[in-house]
Structure 1
């Protein structure tokens, strides 16, 4: 009888979400004004305050390099991050805040069968074992958001809110985010995005036709579309790119009078009389002397003087024999060399879900590992609208890695240098058949998809280069590599102690706080956020007599030099300080500097070199 009085609350004792009756709403429905009720415009849910706190909470985690799963490690500028995307976004924020031109995400739709991320990782071992659902290798819980479990809109909102809040910080001022969603959470997603990005920065809702044929086995309607919400970081600063004109559009322009200005299309010379001025009402005399009178309710589009100038410039067409109703010539060379993007994207233009599966089938003949992968034509349309040739784009629900495939295709087409950052939690998909035996988790499939797609694109480019006409410039093979990074705990033990916990003997335990299973490359990557260095920075191991037997890293051609060896002699420090160009940053492991004298000398060596050379180096001992 009263469907609008149901709501969701969190039980104060169990902490679980449950559905209850909003008795204030019920009283109001029955004609009674709820006592003390204040009217206000707001959007909230049980757990919203915690979701806001989660977005602000800092983490002591890092991105560890996984070279063995990467491709073209030394040359690539693309990143594939394994791990919970909220952690990854927080880590990326330290270096990439305000630098991402375009974000696309395809989050769980909350249909009752897909997975929702749970962000409480502080459970003990017994609780961990007793909780329902799947877990990733880092302890993250993945549970189906079923109504039978008491998990409704509130859990979904609490999942997506902090991720979008951090994503806002990553977007450039002239950037935009595109979010795929269906009707289950479209309304809530709009409310959340209005709060985070600002309702004034809502751009539009795109309708993507994801199916090309109706489904008959449905109770109500056969759903043929998904939504893509578009928000700008700053709507006044963001402008979508024009789409390329189609051959069909250009075919409407012909050159019936061999005009040297090229093809043209006839345009209307009339306008509605209500919009005209007195000077637009006259009898038009054609060059052959024929007079043209206005139809009822119309005026000429131009004044008599302006129309005379157009006729003199051969910009008015009177037909082959000069007796036709005058038409204004619109030249193809003078129209916009592109068209504005519309809000309805039919599958003929951007592909459908079945096309996405066919693309994967071509790459994975052993079996399609995803049910509903997004087609690359859809991803390319978003790139066409929202990216520049040098943009950095991000997808933190990367799934089948369609965006990475599309970026490589787009770069191959326009010789662009777009970089992508993908984030994916390892679990969250049920693998079957031969795919299950070949790939261990979702990330392995995504990475393999990029490898295979990249090789396919490379072969196509090289094949096209082999067919070039004499003297034509060969096309450049785009960046088809990627660095795999994994979200993990810090490379260093937590040394924070209260005064009561500290003893004289425990001080010795704090000299080397690096974890025993971490490599020097792991430690180097943990330095990057400190110095605002991107994770695709070039990395070189220096080979010089002063560094014999020691690993000294040079990042971005000497912008950062670092050594994490167990023993670092002063000769290595002198060699680091003497590099040309002078490093902006120098890092050394404290455990490798065996005495306080060496630690002091480390700073002094660089100070003395700074006096001899122009510039100074920021020193960091870790």
Structure 2
């Protein structure tokens, strides 16, 4: 008889190091060796495999180094001991929405999303804390990340305020780099092959941020740095100059990823001053102008064209030297067939001569983005609009404009079903922009936000209005509460502004917490008591729904995957993703109930006809005895459900 495979009570997220080893082993089996201390990488074999490339661990090599970089890299690889608990009561359209709003330290959140969203995110936009010497709330210098997170955010007793990151500390840049590095390291895994990341930053850390992004994403994946006119001149950022811009660094998942053009403005479209049956167009000379415009530069592009009156026309510059066309003969014939060639008579030196032009139609044409964004709405407008949304109260400082993020979506997420991630969500502008863009082009893009529930201090003048607004809402005084409220109000506004739009404006709320699975932590002084306490591996007080969503994370399923529930033989049974996962997390299953429960699961499984294998999960402590457990496994196995686990 088949026994239920009892999963060890693993209260951690995906082991990224083990995953890396598995990938190396799959590509180069000879690279991985077994030694007295376990699995290791044979450096001599690595040197052979990479040929002329140098394998080095020398201290003196090109790149940005700082105290703590090695630990920051290790921190990204350390599994999380947390989970994401669902809060339907704080969500909007929980049953139907595909959007996520996650409260928690984004380092832990990114670790927990590794399995479910690896390689799926098309666009990442973040506006991380600028390193200005104010309070720093991402310490990452502790052993129990979840416990520390709960303390810092005041969710458990013993809360602590993280000290200010002042230049006098001697670790001004180091602390910021140690915060950013592991997060960027983790998020690269979530990017799809055609993905891109846009990072807003000021001048304090621009150079350092570019250096660590070169390290993480690769210099060849650097797409450019945008200077954005903010419209809010300040005295900060420079010693002698007023700062009127901030920066956006752009990196791609792979070097050949294309950044798409953006829609033309009315001013851009005004130069399309001609029109025919195919629409508005402009013309440009078919003769090459500017650099490399001589016959000898491209001899194959110097040839005669036949004008409408039969004349043979050669490319000759106004200065009289032999020039060349912009294309070869075959391409010219293709443009003629497509109706993209126009002949015009122009006056030159007092006489009429033929000139040939290429036609460029406005319809379907996009403008290549520049690295200076001066035409977009600025921060002042963003602040005014957000105040209006919050009944005239200024609850967020320096919010980014919705138009800015929509512009980025146009460039890097024209796929209307793209997933867009912002793990420094702040005022929630990214989600607002996603909903607005979807309403504009009838898209179904999804957003995933992560925001630390950072405590607001009503005695702080900069935070008083925000704290008071939370009091007005009857909500905890945290930034995450304001983020959620922004999403609710933005959704309502999008619906009012776009009455015909029926797309997704909801979001599911999840919150970071300790794993539902109790970690094995024996007390050597009283092992018997420890064993007794760990008979049930699940944390007391957690619901079936809590455990179910942790299973989704551990099995790599989307947190918005459809979940159905049926009562079978008096037990709640859940089907996830059309039967990919089936779970019964009841606390007691007697011998007498086993057969009816198993048959009900089998019948439902046949209705679902899932693609691929089904994993069936039960609570280990629920079975009356090993006989009940074994019988259930045998019945399910005989009917084609092979992968049976217990928690």
TM-score (norm 1): 0.81
Contact 2:286 2:326 survives alignment (8 Å): no
Q: Does 1:432 find its partner at 2:432?
A: no
Partner of 1:598: 628
Q: Does 1:539 find its partner at 2:571?
A: no
Label 1:56 to 1:214 Cα distance change in 2 as closer, same or farther (>3 A): closer
Give, in angstroms, the shift of residue 128 of structure 1: 8.4
Q: Does 1:378 find its partner at 2:397?
A: no
Partner of 2:599: 574
Partner of 1:232: 252
Give, in angstroms, the shift of residue 558 of structure 1: 2.7
Q: Does 1:412 find its partner at 2:439?
A: yes
Q: Does 1:153 find its partner at 2:191?
A: no
Partner of 1:493: 518
- Looking at structure 2, the residues matched to 266 and 539 of structure 1 have their Cα atoms a distance apart, in angstroms, of 56
Label 1:57 to 1:596 Cα distance change in 2 as closer, same or farther (>3 A): same
Contact 1:107 1:397 survives alignment (8 Å): yes
SS at match of 1:384: helix
Spell out, residue by residue over 1:451-491, the C-alpha distance to the aligned partner (whole angstroms, 9 max, x if none).
Answer: 111011122222xx4xxxxxxxxxx4221111111111011
- Over the aligned positions, Cα root-mean-square deviation in angstroms equals 3.6
For 1:110-509, list aligned pairs within 5 A: 110-122=131-143, 135-137=153-155, 142-211=162-231, 220-236=240-256, 238-255=257-274, 259-268=276-285, 270-271=287-288, 272-273=293-294, 275=297, 277=299, 280=302, 287=309, 294-296=317-319, 298-302=321-325, 315-319=342-346, 324=352, 326-333=354-361, 337-346=365-374, 348=375, 350-387=376-413, 388-427=415-454, 430=457, 431-433=463-465, 434-438=468-472, 439=475, 440-462=477-499, 465=500, 476-497=501-522, 500=524, 503=527, 506-509=530-533
Q: Does 1:523 find its partner at 2:547?
A: yes
Give, in angstroms, the shift of residue 553 of structure 1: 1.6
Structure 2 gap segments, 5+ residues each: 1-57, 458-462
Contact 2:98 2:508 survives alignment (8 Å): yes
Give, in angstroms, the shift of residue 502 of structure 1: 7.1
Give, in angstroms, the shift of residue 240 of structure 1: 1.0
SS at match of 2:155: coil
- Looking at structure 2, the residues matched to 90 and 530 of structure 1 have their Cα atoms a distance apart, in angstroms, of 11
| Higher RCO structure (Cα 8 Å, ≥6 apart) | 2
Spell out, residue by residue over 1:150-188, the C-alpha distance to the aligned partner (whole angstroms, 9 max, x if none).
Answer: 431111111111111111111112211111111101111
- Looking at structure 1, the residues matched to 259 and 201 of structure 2 have their Cα atoms a distance apart, in angstroms, of 21
Contact 2:99 2:506 survives alignment (8 Å): yes
For 1:11-160, list aligned pairs within 5 A: 40-122=61-143, 135-137=153-155, 142-160=162-180
Spell out, residue by residue over 1:578-608, the C-alpha distance to the aligned partner (whole angstroms, 9 max, x if none).
Answer: 2122561211111221211111122112112
Number of aligned positions between the proteins: 555
Structure 1 gap segments, 5+ residues each: 1-36, 466-475, 611-615
Contact 2:272 2:362 survives alignment (8 Å): no
Give, in angstroms, the shift of residue 280 of structure 1: 4.3
Spell out, residue by residue over 1:307-345, the C-alpha distance to the aligned partner (whole angstroms, 9 max, x if none).
Answer: 998999872111599965544333343886212111111
Contact 1:264 1:330 survives alignment (8 Å): no
